[in-house]
Amino acid sequence: MSSDVVAGPGILTKVRTALTIAGGLYALALGLIAVPYFQTHTLYCNAIRIPWFADFDAPERYGLALNKTYNFKIQTVDNETLGAWFVLAESIYQALPSHDTIPKPHIAHALRTRPTILFFHGNAATRAFKVRIQHYSAFSSRLNANVLAIDYRGFAESTGSPSEEGLVRDARAAYEWLISSGAKGEDIIIIGHSLGTGVGARLAAQLSKEELAYRGVVLMSPFSSITELVKTYSVLGAVPLIRPLTMIPYAFNFITWALIHKFDTLSVVPQIKGKVLIAHAENDWDIPYTHSEVLFNAFLEPLLPNVDIPSDPVSTTKEDWSAFSAQIAARKNRRENIVTTTQLPKFGVVEEFVDRGGESLVNGEPVSGAEYWAAGRPGGGAPWEREVIFVKMLEGGHDYVGVQEGLQDLIGRKFGLLPHSLPSLPPPPISVISPKAPESDVGGSDVSEAGGWSPLPSASERGEWTAAVTKVVD
């Protein structure tokens, strides 16, 4: 009996000690995250170079077909060198006289003949990582598109160290390489995954602002911003990493203040003019799908009527509450009239709308939706139409959204990649087509002078997945 009495305090002491150590390690980890060096490595994880000791000259070792992929380097404007793979579209590859043929001489023809997906991967690992190989294979085979995949600065064999601005420069360098190698801007589809969505969105915004062509952008498993991701991130989807700090005054504000890498995709939404497809899985334990909902709603916001929230609910009159309720109802009805919702059993839900105008307030003045979005300059620019699609999938986790064939088919139809794509939106009133680059300048370093932005491909190439306002597809 006496031994049991003695054992009790011993167990409590051990538990208390363990909790103290865990708390200390937690505080240390958070403190290190606030240090730029550790924060950079935590975000990018570029030191994790899986597969280790990769031979990038032999993409066949990692699952790609013999001589289907060209390994090369891209030079950035700030003199960093990026490792890159160019994967031929399946129809181009199968048309080669021999699969012993080196793909480089056929790149210009491939760029002129088939659309190209410019792919930006997430953090950690390299372009030879298994799940990324699965993406290239699916895009090049099922969608019959060329694929350009790069490793950002500081990743794999690329030189330099990663930073937000640096990764955007890397993305622009990849785009310019495609243009100088013979691609037309309106044949380039930007696809980003996870961290790559922050990169891809900023590239799309930059191209839109400069009125340079691209066919559209696909954001797979995106976050609205790193700040918001930090707020919602949970280890294995169960243990919140930062949320406990909300109980400590100013502690959470300190962490967000210390973030040097923002990747604020939400802030560049007004500048993105091309077609947008957002895809997220409900079982994503790394980045909650609510981030994609926030982004989709941000694209939709200028088309919805405003709601005047009472500043002082206590003193609000009955008439004010009635007006407030009426505004909410009008906003809800407007959304239902704009957004097409399609239930796909065993797959997910697709929401989509077309921005054909609408009205929003900018600096107190009513501005049409088309003007609001034009070149990121509220109140100016030529009218145009832009389609936004949100695909919320049941499965796919964080890493395997892009390898779901259902999503691949949606991308193919929406961006005119499938052979039987149906006509989509009419061409915009004003568009400038990029001039064709010389065939011989594959991989040249000249900066592209591609023409003005063209939000959609030509009528013969576009595709749309038709749907009623609300329907179920069996």
283 and 397 share a domain?
Answer: yes
- Please give the Cα distance from 10 to 34 (Å, whole number): 36
pLDDT at 243 over 70: no
Strand 116-120 to 146-150 pairing? parallel
Same domain? For 18 and 148 the reply is no
| Lowest mean per-residue pLDDT among 268-272, 373-377, 416-420, 438-442 | 438-442
Between residues 127 and 258, the one the model is more confident about: 127
CB-based burial label for 158 (10 Å; 0-12, 13-18, 19+): buried
Measured distance CA(386)–CA(457) in Å, rounded: 12
In this structure, are 215 and 80 located in the same domain?
yes
The Cα–Cα gap between 173 and 447 comes to 9
Q: Is residue 427 part of a domain?
A: yes
C-alpha 246/C-alpha 267 separation (Å) is 24
Pairing of strands 81-87, 69-75: antiparallel
Paired with 130 in beta bridges are none
Q: Using one digit for the tens of pLDDT, what is the confidence trace for 400-421?
A: 999 999 999 999 999 999 875 5
Neighbouring-strand partners of residue 389: 277, 352
* Cα–Cα distance measured from residue 34 to residue 256, given in angstroms and rounded to the nearest whole number: 9
Q: Is the pLDDT of residue 236 over 50?
A: yes
Do both 90 and 217 map to the same domain?
A: yes
Range scoring the smallest mean pLDDT among 106-110, 113-117, 175-179, 382-386: 382-386
Domain holding 98, by residue range, is 59-225+262-301+346-472
Same domain, 29 and 64: no
Residue 442: pLDDT over 50: no
Q: Is residue 369 part of a domain?
A: yes
The residue behind tokens 């399609």 is: 342
| 237-254 mean pLDDT | 62
- Torsion sign over Cα 123, 124, 129, 131: negative
- Asked whether residue 253 is assigned to any structural domain, the reply reads no
- The residue that leads in pLDDT, 439 or 113, is 113
**DSSP at 200:** H
List the single range of 56-65, 99-108, 214-223 with lowest mean pLDDT. 99-108
Residues 438 and 377 in one domain: yes
Amino acid identity, residue 118? L
| Residue 53 domain-assigned (yes or no) | no
Residue 447: the pLDDT is: 35
In the structure, what pLDDT confidence band is assigned to residue 249 with cuts at 50, 70 and 90?
low
**Domain count across the chain:** 2
Q: What are phi and psi of 410, to 5 degrees?
A: -60, -45
pLDDT tens across 448-469, in order?
Answer: 333 333 333 333 333 333 233 3
DSSP-based three-state secondary structure for 123: coil
| Rounded Cα distance, 219 and 175, in Å | 17
Q: What is the mean pLDDT of the chain?
A: 81
> Does a structural domain hold residue 382?
yes
CA–CA dist 66, 70 (Å, integer): 10
Verify that 13 and 124 share a domain, yes or no: no
Local confidence band at 471 (pLDDT 50, 70, 90 cut-offs): very low
3-state secondary structure of 443: coil
One domain, residues 15 and 117: no
Q: What is the per-residue pLDDT for 237? A: 57
Task: Look at residue 472 and tell me whether its pLDDT is greater than 50.
Answer: no
Instruction: Look at residue 225 and tell me whether its pLDDT is greater than 80.
Output: yes
pLDDT score, position 239: 58
User: Which stretch of DSSP H or E encloses residue 301?
Assistant: none
Length of the chain measured in residues? 474
Please report the pLDDT score of residue 403 as a whole number: 97
| Same domain for 151 and 267 | yes
pLDDT at position 241 is 61
Residues 104 and 27 in one domain: no
Residue 18 lies in a domain: yes
Tens of pLDDT, residues 287-336:
999 999 999 999 999 999 888 777 777 677 777 778 878 888 989 999 99
Q: Dihedral sign, CA of 78, 83, 88, 93?
A: positive
Q: Which pLDDT tens digit goes with each residue over 329-356?
A: 989 999 999 999 999 999 999 999 998 7
Whether residue 46 is contained in a domain is answered as no
How many percent of the chain have pLDDT more than 70? Answer: 72
pLDDT in tens, 44-102: 999 999 999 999 999 999 999 999 999 999 999 999 999 999 999 999 999 998 888 88
The answer on 431 and 386 residing in a single domain is yes
- Of residues 286 and 473, more confidence is placed in 286
CATH number of the domain to which 143 belongs: 3.40.50.1820
> What are the structure tokens assigned to 77, written together?
């404007």
Would residue 324 count as lying in a domain? no
What residues contact residue 120 under an 8 Å CB cut-off, 6+ apart? 150, 152, 171, 190, 191, 192, 193, 195, 196, 197, 199, 200, 203
Residues 89 and 158 in one domain: yes
